[in-house]
Amino acid sequence: MNILELNHVHKSFAKIEGEDVTQALSDITFTVQDGEFLSIVGPSGCGKSTIMRLIAGLIFPTAGTLTLNGEIITSPNTERGMVFQKPTLFPWLTVKQNLDFTARMKGYTHKKDYESESERLLELAGLKDFRDDFPHQLSGGMAQRLALIRTMINNPKVFLLDEPLGALDAFTRMNMQDEILKLWQRSNHIVLMVTHDIDEALYLGTRIIVMAPRPGRIREDLKNNMPYPRVRTSDEFLQMRKQVLEMLNFGQNIN
Ligand SMILES: Nc1ncnc2c1ncn2[C@@H]1O[C@H](COP(=O)(O)OP(=O)(O)OP(=O)(O)O)[C@@H](O)[C@H]1O
Ligand SMILES: [Mg+2]
């Protein structure tokens, strides 16, 4: 059982000039374990990406601790896979090479160890016919799909998704939501996903974290017990949607 714990995490950034600091996060505490899918919503600038980068081990807290299975997070690691809002691909490698390179980073040294999964993911993302193309030849949505499957191939214990579907058209977006759901249900690992889309947060998450800005805080940590597959037009769904929207408005007006 994997357990990710954030314990009284604060994060400030120094401004370029003077001694002013931006207090990006204040006293963030939550625990998430295998089988949980956390959707994180909140106004722009409330520290959502900062939380993801802290968990990824790309930056460090000003105070407080982040642990995975009791161990302090000290650096990036393939056990915590992150998909950024803007796809970060290796421009000098083809689609297939981008995928295989990440598998080798995980420590798979023999092609046979990752080849079938690599092929399956290419198929799933509709990229099989583009396997020999380079990232600049792909559409925005295709590049984003490649970034997603590239993180999926390592089956991370913690899957960090920072608005991964923002660049996709509505149809592809709904398909990818179902793929992310399937991946999570199969692995039963931890997923944290930042989104601006309330419907997406409710369609996917077992929990919805609603944040408030300046400094970024957790306003609500809501359980979402609706059974899967969820129906976006059901009364229960619409009721919860209303609840989250009201919280977000309230969150924006308290400063
Ligand atoms: N490297 C940095 N240096 C200085 N300030 C930063 C840095 N990264 C983030 N910040 C500040 O921290 C705050 C939170 O930023 P963050 O990117 O986490 O917000 P966000 O919730 O992801 O916003 P958005 O929804 O627009 O992506 C902002 O005020 C931002 O200016
Ligand atoms: Mg962000």
Looking up residue 222, the CATH number of its domain turns out to be 3.40.50.300
| pLDDT for position 250 | 55
**Among the atoms of ligand 1, which is closest to the Cα of residue 52?**
18
Domain that holds residue 109: 89-155
**Among the atoms of ligand 1, which is closest to the Cα of residue 51?**
18
Final residue of a domain: which of 119, 138, 155?
155
Nearest-CA residue for ligand 1 atom 4 is 13
**CA dist., res. 23 & res. 40, Å (int):** 19
Pull the structure tokens for residue 82.
């992150």
Residue whose C-alpha is closest to residue 2's, from 29, 36, 51, 48: 36
Residues 184 and 124 in one domain: no
Nearest-CA residue for ligand 1 atom 13 is 24
Residues with a beta carbon under 5 angstroms from ion ligand 2: 49
**CA dist., res. 196 & res. 40, Å (int):** 9
Mean pLDDT by 10 residues, the chain (255 residues): 98 80 95 98 95 97 98 95 86 94 84 87 90 93 88 91 87 86 88 96 98 94 96 96 87 44
Residues 139 and 163 in one domain: no
| pLDDT for position 139 | 87
**CA dist., res. 161 & res. 193, Å (int):** 5
Evaluate whether residue 84 is within a structural domain.
Answer: no
Residue whose C-alpha is closest to residue 174's, from 143, 203, 150: 203
Residues 95 and 219 in one domain: no
Nearest-CA residue for ligand 1 atom 2 is 13
Residues 151 and 166 in one domain: no
How many residues can be counted in the chain? 255
**CA dist., res. 173 & res. 145, Å (int):** 10
CA 64 to chain centre: 22
| pLDDT for position 254 | 43
Tell if the pTM clears 0.85, that is, is over it: yes
